[in-house]
Chain A
Amino acid sequence: MSGDRGNGGNRVRLDVILRSREGAMPLDVQPSGVSTESLGQVIAVLDSLNHDTEQGFMSIGAKLADFMQTVSAISSELTALANAEHGQKASLVLTHALDRSTRMSAAQGDRDGGLAGMRREVGLLKRTLSGFQETVETFRTLGLLTRIETARLGSTGADFSDLADDVSLLAGQVQSKVASALSIADSLIPPIESAMREISALEAEQTSDLPALISRTLASLSSFRDVQDQAKESSNRLGAKYDAISDGFKKLIVSIQFHDITRQQVEHVVEVLQRLTSRSEPGNGNPARHPRGTSAVLELQCAQLADADKKFAASVETVERNLEGIARTVLEMADESRAISGLRDDGTGSFFLPMEQDCSAILASLSHTAKAEVATLATRKGLAKTIDKMSGSIQEIQQVETKMRRMALNARISAFHLGDTGSALDVLAGSVQQLASECKERSQSLVTSLHSMSNAATSSRGEDVQDSDSAPEDEYVDELRQAVADLHSSTESSFALISQIVARGDRLSADIAATRQNFSAGALFAEAVARAQESMKQIGDMIQLGAPLDDSEEPESGLADFMSHYTMQSEMDVHQGITGAANGAFPPAAQIGWQTCPSAAADELDNVEFF
């Protein structure tokens, strides 16, 4: 297993080892003597390559873990964007705000008209009430005349003395109620004027600012919807890219397994060669004596390495291709993310910011409107109470009128019984009766005015407030404020997500590039394996040409012993191919190989067996 050496450093060292041998004999095999040292060099190179490549695997694995975490995170973020929850929410908020704004603007005209109508009604009310003053004076006069006529008639007119008293009394009552109603009417005017001034100021402000704001926000909303659509399309494309990355990752894992299997195969060759050198004892100043069958062992190990270089190089190439594909897709994901947000390279320029600013401005404007609404509502509530009070006074006046009419009718009946003597009193009672009727018409007119005022005071409060004592527009602004706060929050969240996607995508791409750089040791590995094979063949050839042999070893038993150390079927196949072949001929390369890994689409149990 490998130590803690850095992969980049190893790659450089390997490169130096290989380049130093270019043009020379493979490794340090000298014709004058096949030595343990030569085999030791083969072992050292292969062992070093094994360490290096395993470090490469570990580095790849660590990067992969990070890659997949990142891709998984990006995928989740994209899914959130694809669902466009933030966008939908913001869109709803804006639509809601605009709807409210439009309704509030429209309601201003109604409010203004309503208050003006009330002011007119109050004027009419006052004039009507003033008309009562004359009526009261006439009543008083009629009461006085009745008293004089009653006195003139003496005992005959005794029944009419009460009429004079009652007319005077009722006239006093009417006067008192009218005075009270006039006072109330006077108090109605100032709050109406005040509310009208506030509304006029508000209208002036909103006429100049709000339309522009609403227009801008509508444009932002339209852009937002466009972006939402783009995000959905991008999300679909990114989903496909994520699938491509996942597929690439799976292929990468298979490639790395091939890579690792080759590495293990080389490791086993190294172990065999180490065992071989431990048995080759150098004599005193003489070349090493090798166990009998060393040549066959070397030939076998060469066979074990046959195709290893090609497979290793092929697996490295596949790994690199997979990494390159992943890197490309990740960069495309980052670009898509930039496109979604409208971000420039410096991370600014998103349409989110101006849209949020416009929303805040609209909120401020609507908040102002809402305050005016609350003030107007308070005014109207006060007016409604006042109108209720005035209605009470008018009702009392009407009751007096009824009494007067009833009393006048009784007086006329009594005068009729008196005959000619009572004719003057009949005239007076008739006048009271007529005056009372005129009063009734006038008070009916007051009732109509009050009804109109009452309607004006309550209708513009809106349906939201009919049964509520709270200030509805306060709640409305709170709702808007919350909506804009939500928009702010979702905007920040979207920014954070998009920035993460862009940043992670860029970092991921850089990581992949760095990993690929380190992984170029694979090519060196293939070259070194080829050279090691060549060296082993040369060493074996030279041993056959005359190197001293140790007769104490039986090569066949040694070769057979290898069988128990193989961990791969392919190694056993190679071994059987070599030991069964005549004259040590290598089996064809095509016969040496692993079974291929079935694709995901193939039967998943092809290389799985359940017991």
Chain B
Amino acid sequence: MKNIMTVDDSSSLRQMVGLVLRGAGYEVIEAVDGVNALSKLGGQEVHLFLVDVNMPNMGGLEFTRQVRALPQYKFIPIVLLTTESSVEKKQEGKAAGATAWIIKPFDPDQLLAVVKKVIR
């Protein structure tokens, strides 16, 4: 079973994404922000990160940069979920090392299609 870590400060969004992913047979690890997510990693196997861009304490872009600095997670796909669609922000995400960018609101099938495409 593949493990997916969802990082979002919105508990309801986190819950819904978890619902969709668990329904599709994935194991879901939830974190409320970047700091919380890094503390939960602890070397455990993660196959994909789904990360909100704007979060308190540590946002998705900084989290992406820090994850890419960790050898174990250097090549794990990171998909950023956000309501932002500006080109600049996307470029920031790409530069940080994100794999894909999904603009909310998204259809559950869309999310799963992206997950299946990027997960290893």
Contacts and interface: CB of A to CB of B under 8 A. Distances in A.
A608 B98 CA distance: 13
B69 interface: no
Contact of A567 (B16, B83, B100, B103): B83
A132 interface: no
Binding site secondary structure of chain A: helix
A312 to B, nearest CB: 14
A608 B100 CA distance: 7
Contact of B86 (A58, A569, A597): A569
Most chain B beta-carbon contacts within 10 A, residue among A572, A607, A611: A611
B107 A600 contact: yes
Contacts of A569: 83-86
Contact of A250 (B101, B109, B113, B118): B109
Nearest to B89: A569
Interface residues of B, number: 38
Contacts of A260: 10, 12-13
B30 to A, nearest CB: 12
B85 A599 contact: no
A18 B82 CA distance: 33
Contact of B93 (A64, A594, A611): A611
A278 interface: no
A611 B101 contact: yes
A261 to B, nearest CB: 6
B100 A570 contact: no
A64 B18 CA distance: 11
Contacts of B106: 254, 257, 597, 607-608
A250 to B, nearest CB: 5
Interface string B6-40: 00011111011001101100000000000000000
Contacts of B82: 567
B94 interface: yes
B3 interface: no
A608 B105 contact: no
Interface in B73-120: 82-86, 90, 93-94, 98-110, 113-114, 117-118
B96 to A, nearest CB: 10
B5 interface: no
Contacts, number: 109
Contacts of B113: 604
Interface string A467-478: 000000000000
Contacts of B16: 61, 64, 253, 256-257
A256 B93 contact: no
Contacts of B54: 567
Interface string A51-87: 0001001100110110010001000000000000000
B93 A54 contact: no
A608 B93 contact: no
Given A61-B16, A257-B106, A594-B83, A567 B53 contact: yes
A595 interface: yes
A598 B19 CA distance: 20
A607 B102 contact: yes
Given A61-B16, A260-B12, A611-B99, A254 B105 contact: yes
B12 A611 contact: no
Given A54-B12, A253-B16, A260-B13, A609 B100 contact: yes
Interface string B39-83: 000000000000001100000000000000000000000000011
A261 B11 contact: no
A65 B118 CA distance: 25
Given A65-B19, A567-B53, A604 B10 contact: no
Contacts of A598: 107, 110
Given A61-B19, A64-B19, A68-B19, A256 B83 contact: no
A58 B84 contact: no
Contact of B12 (A58, A68, A72, A568): A58
B102 A608 contact: yes
B100 A61 contact: no
A46 B57 CA distance: 23
Contact of B107 (A1, A65, A256, A599): A599
A446 to B, nearest CB: 81
Nearest to A259: B12
A68 B22 CA distance: 11
A64 B13 CA distance: 13
A72 B82 CA distance: 30
Contacts of B85: 569, 595, 607
Interface in A156-198: none
Contacts of A519: none
Given A57-B12, A256-B12, A257-B13, A68 B110 contact: no
Nearest to B103: A607
B84 A567 contact: yes
Contact of B83 (A54, A57, A249, A261): A261
Contact of B105 (A594, A604, A611): A594
Task: Name, among A62, A260, A572, the residue most crowded by chain B CB atoms within 10 Å (CB to CB).
Answer: A260
B38 to A, nearest CB: 20
A302 to B, nearest CB: 20
Contacts of B99: 610-611
Nearest to A599: B107
- Chain B CB within 10 Å, residue with most, of A68, A600, A609: A609
Contacts of A567: 53-54, 82-84
13 contacts: A61-B15, A65-B15, A68-B23, A257-B13, A264-B10, A568-B83, A599-B107, A600-B109, A607-B102, A608-B106, A609-B100, A610-B118, A611-B99
Q: When A and B form their complex, which 10 residue pairs have the shortest distance between CB atoms, in order from nearest?
A: A57-B12, A567-B54, A257-B105, A568-B83, A61-B15, A607-B103, A597-B105, A611-B94, A609-B101, A610-B100
Interface of A: 1-2, 54, 57-58, 61-62, 64-65, 68, 72, 249-250, 253-254, 256-258, 260-261, 263-264, 567-570, 572, 594-595, 597-600, 604, 607-611
Given A254-B107, A611-B101, 8 more contacts: A65-B22, A250-B108, A253-B20, A257-B104, A264-B10, A604-B109, A608-B114, A611-B99
